[in-house]
Amino acid sequence: MLFPFDLWKALRWVILAYSLWLYNLFIKTNNTMDFKNIINRNTDHLSINDDFWFPGRWVGGITMILAPLLFLIGMLLRIQYHFFFPQQLQAFQDNPTLMITAYNFFIVGNIFLFPAILTLVRLNGKKKGQISLWGGMFVILGLFARTFQGGINHLAFQLVDLQGLDMATKTIADSYGAFNLIATLNGTIMFGWLILAIGSCLEHLVCLNLFALD
């Protein structure tokens, strides 16, 4: 059974409570106001900002600068070690502070790339919308996969502390290549970068236009 019985029981109560709340909100109030008034009753006095976009030019611009730098720092800190997991685990045992710092820089840069890519897609999409749409989507899927792998890397390093280097290496080797749906997204980022690069070349002066956005 996928979930314990108690969890299913609790879930049924949550669904029931949510259904009663929806009934009280939309059905019982139908005599006094329609659905449109319910939605708009607290927003009628607010002005509409057609220029709003996420994440905005400041967050987007800052992350476009910081994300590559964080990536570069993370890679340079561990460039002296081979990239495959036995050597990475050995490096963690020899210099745990360096490796943890390197991987943290890398994963934070990966997270910061999410708003940066959204900003780049918006800029490129002014003229080449479809190219940027697909490129950005592929890259973001790859970023999610890398974040998932960041958790796996963290667990692998903890195994070195808890079980020793030899046991941790054997555990990772035995489970290496195990199927996971998220892992299938790894390849999308390579296609995404290429498509985004094409879109950026077609949309000239993309960086100079960034802070001209409102």
Q: How far is CA 41 from the centre of its chain?
A: 34
Say what the pLDDT of residue 6 is. Answer: 58
Tell whether 120 and 162 lie within a shared domain.
Answer: yes
Tell whether 112 and 157 lie within a shared domain.
Answer: yes
Closest CA to 89 of 26, 179, 164: 164
* Mean pLDDT, residues 97-115 taken together: 96
Tell whether 121 and 32 lie within a shared domain.
Answer: no
Say what the pLDDT of residue 200 is. Answer: 79
Say what the pLDDT of residue 44 is. Answer: 56
Tell whether 27 and 85 lie within a shared domain.
Answer: no
Say what the pLDDT of residue 124 is. Answer: 80
Tell whether 12 and 96 lie within a shared domain.
Answer: no
> Residue 50 falls within a domain, yes or no?
no
Confidence of residue 214 (pLDDT cuts 50, 70, 90): very low
Tell whether 119 and 154 lie within a shared domain.
Answer: yes
> Residue 51 falls within a domain, yes or no?
no
Closest CA to 86 of 173, 188, 198: 173
> Residue 35 falls within a domain, yes or no?
yes
Tell whether 26 and 97 lie within a shared domain.
Answer: no
- Please, are residues 130 and 195 in contact by the beta-carbon 8 Å criterion? no
> Residue 188 falls within a domain, yes or no?
yes
* Mean pLDDT, residues 186-208 taken together: 78
Cα 47 from Cα 191, distance rounded (Å) = 41
Between 29 and 58, the more confident residue is: 58
Q: What angle do CA 134, 140, 141 make, to 5 degrees?
A: 90
> Residue 52 falls within a domain, yes or no?
no
Q: In which domain, by residue range, is 94 found? A: 57-212
Tell whether 95 and 32 lie within a shared domain.
Answer: no
Say what the pLDDT of residue 3 is. Answer: 44
Q: How far is CA 117 from the centre of its chain?
A: 11
> Residue 78 falls within a domain, yes or no?
yes
Total domains in the chain come to 2
Say what the pLDDT of residue 32 is. Answer: 47
Q: Which two tokens stand for residue 65?
A: 């600068």
Q: What angle do CA 163, 101, 75 make, to 5 degrees?
A: 110
| CA atoms within a 13 Å half-sphere pointing along the CA-CB vector of 178 | 8
> Residue 16 falls within a domain, yes or no?
yes
Tell whether 205 and 125 lie within a shared domain.
Answer: yes
Judge whether residue 26 has pLDDT over 80.
no
Tell whether 95 and 126 lie within a shared domain.
Answer: yes
Say what the pLDDT of residue 23 is. Answer: 61
Is the pTM higher than 0.85? The answer reads no
* Mean pLDDT, residues 69-79 taken together: 95
Residue 202: how many CB atoms within 10 A of its CB?
A: 13
Report the percent of the chain where pLDDT is more than 70.
Answer: 71
Confidence of residue 197 (pLDDT cuts 50, 70, 90): confident
Cα 148 from Cα 168, distance rounded (Å) = 19
Cα 190 from Cα 186, distance rounded (Å) = 8
Average pLDDT over the chain reads: 81
- Please, are residues 110 and 143 in contact by the beta-carbon 8 Å criterion? yes
Judge whether residue 61 has pLDDT over 80.
yes
Confidence of residue 20 (pLDDT cuts 50, 70, 90): low
Most confident of 66-75, 184-193, 198-207: 66-75
Q: Which two tokens stand for residue 178?
A: 């195990």
> Residue 204 falls within a domain, yes or no?
yes
Tell whether 84 and 141 lie within a shared domain.
Answer: yes
Tell whether 119 and 189 lie within a shared domain.
Answer: yes
Q: Which amino acid is at 7?
A: L
